[in-house]
Structure 1
Amino acid sequence: MRGNLVELAVAVVVGATFSGLIQALVADLITPLIAAVTGGRQPDFGNYSFTLNGAVFKYGDFVNHLLTFLIIAAVIYWLVVMPMTRLIAFFDRDKQATEKQCPECLSDIPVDARRCRFCTAELTMVPADDRPPA
C-alpha cells in the first residue's frame, strides 16, 4: 500500500461524494432559484424534439444535461476554485524570492549567486537592503 494509491482512493471517494453534494445543491437550491426568477416553472426541455425525414431528434434531454453541466461547473468554480485561488494567493503574497534570472542565459539561479551555474557569467551582487520585494 503506497501513499499515492491510498491518496488516489480517497480522492475518488471524496470526489464521488462531492459530486452528489453538488448535484443536490443544483437540484434543491439552484434550479428552484431559476424557477423563481422565470415565473415559478422549473425549466424542463426533455420533451423538445424535431423530425427530419422520419427521424426524430430529441434534443431536449441534451439541453437539460448541458444546462445541468453548466450550472454545476459555475457552482464549482464560484464555491471551490475562486476561494482556493484567493487562499493560495493570500499565503503566497509574503514569500521571499529565492531565485532570480541570469541576465545572460535567462536561467533561474539562486538570489545570492555570484556566478551563473549554467553559463558561468559573473553576476553583480545587489545588497540585500537594496533588493526589490518579490
Structure 2
Amino acid sequence: MKKMFQGFKDFIMRGNVVDLAVGVVIGAAFTAVVTTLTEGFLKPLIQVISGGSGVEAGTFKINKVPFDYASFINAVITFLLTAAVLYFLVVYPLNVLAERRRRGEEPPPKSPSEEVKLLTEIRDALVAQAQAGHGAQPQGNVYGSAVDDILQRRQEPPR
C-alpha cells in the first residue's frame, strides 16, 4: 500500500500532470477572452464588411433558410488565436525545458550542507565501531568513544 502511494506521489510530482492542469486552466481562461474579442469585435466587423446591417448581416439565405457564415468565420478565428497563444506561451516553453533536461543543461542539485556531511561521517564512524566491536562487550559509552574518535580526542590510558 505504501509503495502504491509513493508511486502516485512520484506520478503527480513528475510534472506532466501539473503541466496538463495548468494548460487546461490557462486554455479555458484564454478561450473566454478570445471568444469575447471575436464575438464582440470581429463578428460585427465581418458583418459590416459583408455589406449587411441588422439581424441578417453576415448571413445568406437559401430557400429562406439563413446560413450564418460570420459565426463560422468567428469560430475559426477564435480557435486559431487560442491554439497559437497556447502553443507559444505553454507548449513551446515546456518543450524547450524538456530538451534542456535531456541534454543535461539543468543545474545540478545542491550538494549537502556541511552539517549533513558531518552527521554522515559521525553515523559512518558509529556503524564502523559497532561492527568492529560486534563480538566483544563494549566498555564504557560506545557513542562517546566514537565522537572522541571523530574529533580526534584521545584518552590517556590510566597509570
TM range (shorter): 0.3 to 0.5
Larger proportion of strand:
1
TM-score (normalised: structure 1): 0.45
Select the structure with the greater relative contact order (CA < 8 A; seq sep ≥ 6).
2
Larger proportion of helix:
2
Rg larger for: 2
